[in-house]
Chain A
Amino acid sequence: MPATTADRAQPDTTAYLICAAAWLVPGVGHLWLGRRQKGIVFLVALTLMFVFGLWLEGALFPFQLAEPLVALGALADLGVGLPYILARATGAGAGRVVAITYEYGNTFVIVAGLLNMLVVLDAFDIAKGRK
């Protein structure tokens, strides 16, 4: 494997900046660290998974602290970063509860966010020279 910028540990500030970028745009943390193939796969797969979930009429859950499970769903949705913000801004993700694919859509959207959180942690480990 060719040497990349991740072969040496990054300073804390840079590592946290990489995490923020990795959260905002899936895969960008790995691209920043020179792991181009991984970055592109994450960017395409996670964005597509999120969009597919919305296409299946899944919902973007609101932050309702009175409903802990809904709030957790909202937190998971937020994990995907910019696609979530864009979907919210454009009014997508209203969800249609009676749609046969509603629960599937929710699952795709939630899991895309959770997987991106794992990707962010992986980018952090690479930035700190642990991988």
Chain B
Amino acid sequence: MTSHFGLMVIFSLFVSVVFATLMRDEPREQLKFGGRLLAGFIGAGVVIGWLLYPLPL
């Protein structure tokens, strides 16, 4: 497993699961909140990745 995107998705999944479980009590709410967090993390990662793309190292 060396795909940057894959690792970012797995990391986001772990963090979303823990935050959703911490911040919501009902399983249904946890699922909704966790899904929104996961989508937000992945979306932000992709957007920031593209914003950084033209920058020289």
Please, how many residues of chain B have a CB less than 8 angstroms from a CB on the other chain? 14
Q: A1-B25, A104-B7 are in contact. Are A45 and B1 (CB under 8 A)?
A: no
Q: With CB as the reference atom, state the residue of chain A lying closest to B13.
A: A45
Report chain B residues within 8 Å CB of A48: 14
Contact between B18 and A56, CB atoms less than 8 A apart: no
Q: A37-B27, A111-B15 are in contact. Are A118 and B7 (CB under 8 A)?
A: no
Question: What class of interface size applies to chain A in its complex with B?
Answer: 20 to 34
Contact between A108 and B11, CB atoms less than 8 A apart: yes
| A 13-38 contacts with B by CB, 8 A | 37-38
How far is A46 from B22 in the complex, measured between Cα atoms in Å? Answer: 12
Contact flags B9-37 to A (C-beta < 8 A → 1, else 0): 01100110110011001110000000000
Report chain A residues within 8 Å CB of B25: 1
Q: With CB as the reference atom, state the residue of chain B lying closest to A46.
A: B18
Report chain B residues within 8 Å CB of A46: 18
Binding site for A on B (CB under 8 A): 1-2, 7, 10-11, 14-15, 17-18, 21-22, 25-27
Binding site for B on A (CB under 8 A): 1, 37-38, 41-42, 45-46, 48-49, 52, 56, 100-101, 104, 107-108, 111-112, 115, 118-119, 122
